[in-house]
Amino acid sequence: MVNVWGSWCGPCRVEAPALREVANAFEDQGVQFLGLNVRDNDAAALAFEKRFDIPYPSLTSKDSPAASLAFGGELSTMAVPMTVVLDRDRQIAARVVGQVSEPTLRGLVEDVLAESDE
């Protein structure tokens, strides 16, 4: 799962607890989370991660544009927040543009896990 976020983003602050809960819930199943911090400064980003107790790593805003390019235009650092769920082959299986809720994210991850078990 990849989440594009910024400490300055109101919806990012609202969805942060949901992302944390889902990351913790699926950690034992091998689901990996990565944040892409955009248009931010490192101090503000680190304070955000600490405040919301984010358990997964994030790339700094300096590195996130290059990471975004690795998705071949499928992941925008201009749409914040944006969350994509990747399958085991690292293909985008689901995308949410805007704030994501815990039930929605949990359901998307469960769907991808179920498909990979088939």
Give per-residue pLDDT as tens, 25-40. Answer: 999 999 999 999 999 9
Output the domain CATH number for residue 92.
3.40.30.10
Closest to 86 in 3D by CA, of 103, 99, 65, 72:
72
Question: 46 and 7 in contact (C-beta within 8 Å)?
Answer: no
Closest to 55 in 3D by CA, of 85, 79, 26, 93:
26
d(CA 59, CA 30): 20
Question: 37 and 64 in contact (C-beta within 8 Å)?
Answer: yes
Amino acid at 68: S
| DSSP output for 59-94 | E-TTTHHHHHHTTTTSS-SSSSSEEEEE-TTS-EEE
Total domains in the fold of the chain: 1
Asked if the model's pLDDT at residue 118 lies above 70, the reply is no
Give per-residue pLDDT as tens, 59-79. Answer: 988 888 888 888 888 888 888
The range of the structural domain enclosing residue 95 comes to 2-117
